Chain A
Amino acid sequence: MRKLRTFVVIAAAAALAAGIAASAGAAPTRADSTLNGAGSTLIQPAFSVWGPAYASATGVEINYSGIGSGGGISAITNRTVDFGASDAPLSPDQASACNGCVQIPWALSATSVVYNVPGVGDTKLKLSGPVLANIFLGKVTSWNDASIKALNPGLSLPDQKITTVHRSDGSGDTYAFTDYLSKVSSTWRNQVGVNTAVNWPGGVGGNKNAGVSAVIGSTPGSIGYVSDAYALQNHLAKARLRNAFGKYTLPGITGIEAAAQTVKSVPADNKMSIVDPPATKKFAAAWPISTFTYIIVPTTSKNATDLRHFIFWALSPKQQASIKKLIFAPIPKVVLVAAEKTLTKIHS
Chain B
Amino acid sequence: MSSVDAPVADASRRPFRGRRLRLGDVLLQGVAGAAALGATVLLGLIAWKVVDGARPSLSKFGLGFITRIAWNPVPGHEIYGAASFLFGTAITSLVALLIAAPLAMGIALFLTELSPRLIRGPVTALVETLAAIPSVVIGLWGIIVLGPQLRLHVEPWLHKAFGFIPLFGTPSSSGASVFTAIVVLTIMILPIVSSITRELFLGVPHDLKEGALALGATRWEMTRGVVFPYARGGIAAALILGLGRAVGEAIAVTQVIGGGLLVSWNLFSTGDTLASKIANEYQSATSRLQSASLIYLALILLVFSLVMNVAAQVIVRRVSRRMGIGVSR
B73 → A minimal CB distance (Å): 5
Q: Which of B30-38, B157-165, B309-317 contacts A (4 or more CB under 8 A)?
A: B30-38
Q: How many Å lie between the Cα of A169 and that of B77 in the bound state? A: 18
A194 interface residue per 8 A CB criterion = yes
Q: Which of A68, A93, A163 contacts B288 (CB 8 A)?
A: A93
Q: How many Å lie between the Cα of A237 and that of B182 in the bound state? A: 31
Chain A residues in 8 Å Cβ range of B284: 68-71, 169-171, 196-197
Q: How many Å lie between the Cα of A163 and that of B174 in the bound state? A: 7
Complex interface residues of chain B between 9 and 28 (CB less than 8 A to chain A)? 16, 21, 26-27
Chain B residues in 8 Å Cβ range of A207: 254-255, 280
CB–CB A195/B75 < 8 A: yes
Q: How many Å lie between the Cα of A202 and that of B284 in the bound state? A: 21
Chain A residues in 8 Å Cβ range of B148: 218-219
Q: Which of B27, B29, B259, B288 contacts A204 (CB 8 A)?
A: B259
A303 interface residue per 8 A CB criterion = no
Per-residue interface assignment for chain B, residues 271 to 301, with 1 indicating a CB less than 8 Å from any chain A CB and 0 otherwise: 0000000001101111110110000000000
A296 interface residue per 8 A CB criterion = no
A310 interface residue per 8 A CB criterion = no
Per-residue interface assignment for chain A, residues 213 to 256, with 1 indicating a CB less than 8 Å from any chain B CB and 0 otherwise: 01100110110000000000000000000000000000000000
Chain A residues in 8 Å Cβ range of B175: 215, 218-219
- Do A211 and B143 contact each other (CB < 8 Å), given the known contacts A5-B29, A70-B283, A170-B286? yes
Our count of residue pairs bridging A and B at CB distance below 8 angstroms stands at 145
A55 interface residue per 8 A CB criterion = no
Q: How many Å lie between the Cα of A73 and that of B291 in the bound state? A: 12
Count residues of A near B (Cβ-Cβ below 8 Å): 51
CB–CB B30/A8 < 8 A: yes
B173 interface residue per 8 A CB criterion = yes
B147 interface residue per 8 A CB criterion = yes
- Do A165 and B174 contact each other (CB < 8 Å), given the known contacts A199-B71, A207-B254? yes
Complex interface residues of chain B between 172 and 211 (CB less than 8 A to chain A)? 173-176
A216 and chain B: residue at smallest CB distance: B174
Q: How many Å lie between the Cα of A117 and that of B270 in the bound state? A: 21
CB–CB B74/A198 < 8 A: yes
CB–CB A9/B143 < 8 A: no
CB–CB A199/B21 < 8 A: no
B258 interface residue per 8 A CB criterion = yes
CB–CB B34/A168 < 8 A: no
Q: How many Å lie between the Cα of A193 and that of B284 in the bound state? A: 17
Q: Which of A8, A94, A205 contacts B280 (CB 8 A)?
A: A205
B115 interface residue per 8 A CB criterion = no
Q: How many Å lie between the Cα of A200 and that of B259 in the bound state? A: 10
A192 interface residue per 8 A CB criterion = yes
CB–CB B174/A70 < 8 A: no
Chain B residues in 8 Å Cβ range of A71: 283-284
- Do A199 and B74 contact each other (CB < 8 Å), given the known contacts A70-B286, A168-B280, A169-B283? yes
CB–CB B285/A16 < 8 A: no
CB–CB B72/A199 < 8 A: yes
Per-residue interface assignment for chain A, residues 169 to 208, with 1 indicating a CB less than 8 Å from any chain B CB and 0 otherwise: 1110000000000000000000011111111101111110
CB–CB A168/B259 < 8 A: yes
Chain A residues in 8 Å Cβ range of B77: 193
Top 8 closest A-B pairs, CB basis? Answer: A205-B259, A170-B284, A12-B30, A168-B259, A70-B284, A219-B174, A68-B284, A193-B74
Q: List 6 A-B contacts (CB under 8 A).
A: A13-B37, A71-B284, A74-B291, A197-B73, A205-B280, A218-B143
Residues on B lying within 8 angstroms of A by beta carbon are 16, 21, 26-27, 29-31, 33-34, 37-38, 70-77, 143-144, 147-148, 173-176, 254-255, 258-261, 270, 280-281, 283-288, 290-291
New contact pairs (8) apart from A9-B26, A12-B34, A194-B74, CB-CB < 8 Å: A12-B33, A17-B34, A163-B174, A168-B280, A197-B290, A199-B74, A218-B143, A218-B144
